[in-house]
Amino acid sequence: MHSIVTPKPAARRAWVAAARGLMVCLPLLLGACATTRVVDSEVRSYAGIVVPQPKASFRFDRLLSQQTTQAQEQAFQQRLEAMATTALADIGLSQVDQQAQYTVQVSASVELVARAPVFPGPRLGGFWGIHQPLFGTGMGVGVGIGMANYMEPPWSRYGVHLLIRDSATNALVFESTAQHIGPWSDATNMLPAVLRAALRDYPQSMPQSRTVRVEVGPQGMSDRP
């Protein structure tokens, strides 16, 4: 025969408080993916000697290092080029298979960045115990100060490099690099934002590093000043 154990009033209050806390936090957790984020990238861009043509067409031209037989690397490059196609369309360039005016080479890297250990400062703590003196047994209470540090979770570094060339002469039209370092690990959302930042100055030359901000939210991306 099983007996039913009724929790004490204090325990019931603790369970109710925990349940209420979970109900408050759950919408925040579920809505975390829908949060609007501002992705700041450090961008450098360079204009070539060819005068850019408005609404030009392009095709992708892969580097020798990108012409790999590894299925995983091919899949990554295909996804990257799909993201770049959207970013290039935003500046008026359209992709075609043949007789394109421009060729575009795009590469990207995603890697983890270790962060410096955090030193929160000294902490005060107490302890008690039973000790064995030379004669007899005794109990004692003490206070101590300890030093501790811990490692922050790593961040992600996203880097992109774009080269736009004239397909007839191979002359450089535009080159840009962009890099973002931050706590978000979802490359599917971060890489398009960094690509958009890399093309913000097209077709102007901005060789000095500057910060370009792109807002990423549930409704898509938009430029931020």
Rounded average pLDDT over 1-30: 44
Nearest to 199 by CA among 150, 225, 163, 166: 163
Whether 102 maps to a domain, the answer reads yes
Whether 39 maps to a domain, the answer reads no
Q: What is the pLDDT of residue 139?
A: 53
Whether 214 maps to a domain, the answer reads yes
Q: What is the pLDDT of residue 35?
A: 87
Q: What is the pLDDT of residue 149?
A: 60
pLDDT greater than 80 at residue 128 = no
Whether 62 maps to a domain, the answer reads yes
Rounded average pLDDT over 87-101: 95
When the pLDDT of each residue in the chain is averaged and rounded to a whole number, the result is 80
pLDDT greater than 70 at residue 132 = no
What single string gives the DSSP state of each residue in 148-191? --EEPPPEEEEEEEEEEEETTT--EEEEEEEEEEES---HHHHH
Considering 25-29, 121-125, 196-200, the range whose residues carry the highest mean pLDDT is 196-200
Rounded average pLDDT over 55-74: 89
**pLDDT category of residue 71 using cuts at 50, 70 and 90:** confident
**pLDDT category of residue 54 using cuts at 50, 70 and 90:** confident
- pLDDT (tens digit, 9 = 90+) per residue, 159-197? 999 999 999 999 999 999 999 999 999 999 999 999 999
Q: What is the pLDDT of residue 115?
A: 85
Whether 206 maps to a domain, the answer reads yes
* Structure token digits, residue 80: 């990257």
CATH number of the CATH domain containing 85: 3.30.160.670
Q: Which amino acid is at 78?
A: Q
Looking from the CA of 206 toward its CB, the CA atoms found within 13 Å total 19
Show Cβ contacts of residue 116 under 8 Å, excluding neighbours closer than 6 positions. Answer: 152
Q: How many CB atoms lie within 10 A of CB 172?
A: 15
Pairing mode, strands 150-151 and 117-118: antiparallel
Q: Which residue has the higher pLDDT, 12 or 72?
A: 72
Nearest to 45 by CA among 134, 162, 132: 162
Looking from the CA of 1 toward its CB, the CA atoms found within 13 Å total 1
> From CA 61, how far away is CA 160, in angstroms rounded?
15
Q: Which residue has the higher pLDDT, 152 or 149?
A: 152
SS3 of the chain: helix, strand, coil, percent, to 5: 25, 40, 35
- What angle (nearest 5°) sits at the alpha carbon of residue 60, between those of residues 57 and 66? 170
Q: Which domain holds residue 207?
A: 47-113+153-224
Whether 135 maps to a domain, the answer reads no
Domain count for the chain: 1
- Give yes or no for a contact between 195 and 83, defined as CB atoms under 8 angstroms apart: yes
Percent of all residues in the chain with a pLDDT value above 70, rounded to a whole number: 70
Rounded average pLDDT over 87-102: 95
- Give yes or no for a contact between 139 and 131, defined as CB atoms under 8 angstroms apart: yes
